[in-house]
Amino acid sequence: MKKYYYVFVTALSLISTCAIASLPHYYIAADAGIFKGEFNNNYTDKTDVIPLNITQPVMQNGYTVGAKLGFNSPCTQQIFLGGELALHVEGHNASFQTGSTATVLSDNTQVEANLDLTFVPSLMLTRTVAGYLKIGASLAYIQDTLSSPVSYTAVMQRYTSYKFAPGFSAGLGLTKSITRCTSIYAEANYDDYGTVNFSGFQNFLTTYAHSAHVYTYNIVVGMAYHFN
């Protein structure tokens, strides 16, 4: 977490320097787009002498809708520094199953929402078009629901995990002013939440630990309203 601390301290120092010269401009925005989450699942056998581990990557392909609140301050005529708080909600889930119909192990995992707090420097490319970078921290809300046969009689049991996973966020975008108070934008974002540990479970007589390396991508388009 130290690297996040240093990033934010540096970003706040730069923003404060610019804010002294001019008051920041605030904005609100809404967007929608496509979303992809990747889960590199590891099911680790904790009981057998010869481990029966399972590694299975799965994808969550869906949509995302979001809203954000931000500000920026001009440092020069072309360079702006700012910050942004964005909340996105994601749809669909990633699923995996193995085994026969009567004794199938099934696992459904979904990033349901993520909250990003980012530093946003931008550069005016023309009089009305700017390119910007986003870098900061993210917090994802992840749900995992796993069903597994337990004991000799293969009675199905469900294991559900709800996790808040901290991570790293980065993005690139373009924005174009339409009027004095409105603009449109398109951006691509990447979030990496590292390894997330879910509930352990039984598969017949074997006990497993369950974890996944989680990272996501999205491409969104939206509109912003500026309080000038």
Report which residue type is found at 133. Answer: L
Predicted confidence band at 105 (pLDDT cuts at 50, 70, 90)?
A: confident
pLDDT confidence of residue 6: 53
pLDDT confidence of residue 155: 87
Q: Return the H-helix or E-strand segment holding 185.
A: strand 182-203
pLDDT confidence of residue 20: 45
Q: Which residues contact 31 (CB under 8 A, 6 or more apart)?
A: 65, 66, 67, 68, 185, 187, 220, 221, 222, 223
Other beta carbons within 10 Å of 163: 18
Mean pLDDT within 120-139:
96
Predicted confidence band at 50 (pLDDT cuts at 50, 70, 90)?
A: confident
For residue range 5-18, list pLDDT tens digits in order. Answer: 455 445 545 544 45
Asked whether the beta carbons of 184 and 223 are under 8 A apart, the reply is: yes
pLDDT confidence of residue 101: 62
Q: What is the mean pLDDT of the chain?
A: 88
Mean pLDDT within 156-165:
94
- Judged against a pLDDT cut of 50, whether residue 1 lies above it is answered with no
Predicted confidence band at 2 (pLDDT cuts at 50, 70, 90)?
A: very low
Q: Return the H-helix or E-strand segment holding 3.
A: helix 2-21
Separation between Cα atoms, residue 74 and residue 46, nearest integer Å: 56
Q: CA nearest 216: which of 81, 103, 66?
A: 66
Residues facing residue 117 across a β-bridge: 85, 137
Give the CA angle between residues 112, 3, 73 to the nearest 5°: 80
Rounded to 5 degrees, φ, ψ at 9 are -60, -45
pLDDT confidence of residue 154: 78
Asked whether the beta carbons of 116 and 153 are under 8 A apart, the reply is: no
Q: CA nearest 70: which of 29, 35, 111, 19?
A: 29
pLDDT confidence of residue 203: 87
SS3 for 204?
Answer: strand
